[in-house]
Structures are given as C-alpha cells and as structure tokens.
Amino acid sequence: MPLVPNALERLLLFRLNRGPGVAVDLFAAAGFRTVAYALDLGLFDLLRGGPRSAAWLARETATGERGIEAVAGLLVALGYLRERDGRYANAAATTRWLTDAEGSNLGPWFTMWDAVVFPYWDAVFAAAVGEGHPPETLYDYLGDDEAAWRLVQSGFRATAVVAAPEVLDAVPVPRGARVLDLGGGHGHYALELARRDPDLRATVFDLPAALDVARETVDAGGFAGRMDLVGGDYRRDDLGDLVPDDDRYDAVFLFNVVHAHDAAETRDLFERARAVLAPGGVLVVLDQFEGGVPELRNPLTGEDLPLSNVAAAGVAFVDLTYLVTLGARVHAVDAVERWLRGAGFASVERTTLRRSPGATVLVARVS
C-alpha cells in the first residue's frame, strides 16, 4: 500500500514543498522489501485466521518476537496491517490483494520482483542504461533455472488473474472458437476463456521452460484435451505448423509480447499471426503503450496531463523495466495501430483498461 500522507502533510510536503516529500519513496522501497519478506514468512496467510499477537506470529514463523514487532510495525504504518491491543490483523486491501481469500492474490508478483527481477536489475542496471541494453536479457539470465522460471510465470499469472475479466470482456471471441496464445506462458487467459466456453479450443505456444505453470493448471483443472501446450519459439518457428488440417484460428493473442520486439520484428509478427487467422478472425494485442493513457489539457496552463497518474507512472515504470531487462521499450500506440493496418488488418479497436493501470487492448480484425 502506498503511504498516503494526510491533508496537512500533502499541503506541506507536496504543494508548498516545505519538507522532503521525496523521503516517501524511501519508505515505499523499505515497504516493498518488508511486504516481500512477510509473504515469504506466510504472515498474511496466518492472519487470515484473525488477529494475532507478535508472540504467536513469532512462534508460527520461527522468528523473534522483537523482529516481528518491527516488521508488523512498519506494515501497520504503511496500511498493510491493523493493530489493536497488541494484536495484528490484515487490512482489507491486504486480504484482497495479497492472499488467496478473494482469488486476486498479487503476492507471487511481489515475490517475482523481489527474488528474481530486482536482483537481476541490480546487476545490470548501470550497463543497460549506459549501453541501451543489458549484457544479457532477463530470459537469457534465467537460462534453465526451472525454479526461477516458475517464480516468473507465477508472478505473471498473478497479474493476469486480476486483469483477465476485464481483458476478456474486450475480446470478441465467438463460441466454440479456436484460439492461439503466442508467448502465453502461464496460459491463464486461454484457461479463463475455456472456463467461459466449454466448446473453445486453445493452443498456448511459448518456450518450454515457460509452460510448467500452465501445465500444472491444465492438469489440475481438467482442461487436458481442450488446451494444447506447445513448446517452441514464436520468433523463429513457422506458425503454420500450429494450424492442423488448415483449420485456422478465430483469434490470436499477443499479450505482453510486442514490447520485446523492435518495429520491424513487430510488423513481421503481425503478418505471421494474420496468416494463421481465419477470415473474420481477430488479433488481440495487450501491452503498455506510449500514448495509451488518455490525457486532458489543463485550461489554465495548457499542459496535457494524464487522466490517471498511476497509469502514467505504470507505463514509465515498465518502459524502464523493458530497457533494463530486454533492451526494449514501450511502443507508441498510434504506431502499433499503423503496423496492424499495414499487416493487412481491416480495423483496429482500442480499449484502455481500468484494473490494470497503463495497459491497453488492441483488437485488429481480418477482413
């Protein structure tokens, strides 16, 4: 939870600049690390049973009581926990977003950043900023480390669980459709479509190491036979090999994929995806884009301001992340729409997501 200054603090720290408001970012950085540690301990899950004392939490987590008091104290100050009479409880937002209580647990995403992405970031940040690309991409860095791949795909799936209802509502997929999810990894979007439509068939195509999380979900949910998980490299492999008996797809997904490719590669990918779509089929692109956040002009200053500061910060954050991890960038949404039309798509529709700040869905239809 971001630290929310009260009205007087907002006036003094941010409006009048009478104090070091920048210190809030330091508190936030410490808060992230502490939340990640609490997740590793299972602290929030333990508190789903009701308020508990520091002594009880220390026993259950095999830690020290003084240490738990300090950890819980910061989490209380930041709004993740509530404290009354020496007993701690989850805040409502913590229960919803960092436990499995409501099916929207972003805890694995925090864990992914803490255990994999930020350690990698620390190692390559200066080189990536100086050279415009890291010495090796994050995915090369992961190599054959199955545990790290699992953490990454679990983190991606956690964000997909939150975004999926809104994303899939924006996807015009007919009943009984055949869907190809390129670079789909965890497979959650295709799985959710399959849950909505028992006649839908889906193929998830990604690097073999990226499919372990999806394979577990398919097996556990009884989707074997309706979901095909195919290992390969969509950048190089012939996508036509994924079309059995020339029965082309009704929809192709490119979700959080195009940012990893430059303009020429993205245009080529759009053309190859179009070739495996049936007449009237759709290519659905989900990503963060420059210009994807609507703006409003301030009539007093003439300045164009984002309608959502959180969304604008989200796009800037992932742009820096893509530079550091892949040597890539967010593309301008208008350019991506031009590339789609240049690849032969007859129309492109744009939807800005609300539950995933900074994310945009583009739906391009074959004539």
220-254 residue pLDDT tens: 677 777 888 899 999 999 998 888 777 899 999 99
Please tell me the pTM assigned to this model.
0.87
Q: In terms of domains, do 359 and 320 share one?
A: yes
The confidence score (pLDDT) of residue 1 equals 60
pLDDT of res. 244? 75
Residues 61 and 194 grouped into a single domain: no
* In-domain check, residue 115: no
Residues 90 and 140 both lie in one domain: no
Same-domain check for residues 76 and 141: no
- Statement to judge: residues 194 and 259 lie in one domain: yes
**Domain count within the chain:** 2
pLDDT of amino acid 2: 66
On whether both 197 and 299 belong to a single domain, the answer is yes
**CB-based contacts of 274: which residues, under 8 Å, 6+ apart?**
283, 343, 344, 345, 366
pLDDT recorded at residue 112 = 96
pLDDT confidence of residue 300: 66
Mean pLDDT of 202-220: 85
Residue 2 lies in a domain: no
Task: Give mean pLDDT, residues 303-316.
Answer: 79
Q: What is the pLDDT of residues 115-167, one digit of tens each?
A: 999 999 999 999 999 999 999 999 999 998 989 999 999 999 999 999 999 99
Q: Are residues 136 and 91 in the same domain?
A: no
pLDDT given for residue 296 in this prediction: 67
Q: In this structure, is residue 20 part of a structural domain?
A: yes
Output the average pLDDT for the chain: 90
* Single residue among 98, 113, 140 that ends a domain in this structure: 98
**Residue 290 shares a structural domain with residue 173:** yes
Q: Is residue 219 domain-resident?
A: yes
167 in the same domain as 78: no
Q: Which domain holds residue 83?
A: 7-98
Least confidently predicted of 13-22, 36-45, 102-111: 13-22
Q: Residue 13's domain is classified under what CATH number?
A: 1.10.10.10
Q: Using 50, 70 and 90 to split pLDDT, how confident is the model at 366? A: very high
In a domain, 226, yes or no: yes
Do residues 143 and 238 share a domain?
yes
| 114 assigned to some structural domain | no
Give residue for tokens 């805890």: 107
More confidently predicted of 238 and 308: 238
CATH number of the domain residue 297 falls in: 3.40.50.150
Residues 199 and 268 in one domain: yes
Which of 98, 115, 140 is at the close of a domain? 98
Confidence of residue 320 (pLDDT cuts 50, 70, 90): very high
Boundary of a domain, candidates 63, 98, 133: 98
Q: Do residues 86 and 129 share a domain?
A: no
Q: Is residue 92 part of a domain?
A: yes
> Is residue 109 situated within a structural domain?
no
In this prediction, residue 45 carries a pLDDT of: 96
The predicted pLDDT at position 38 comes to 97
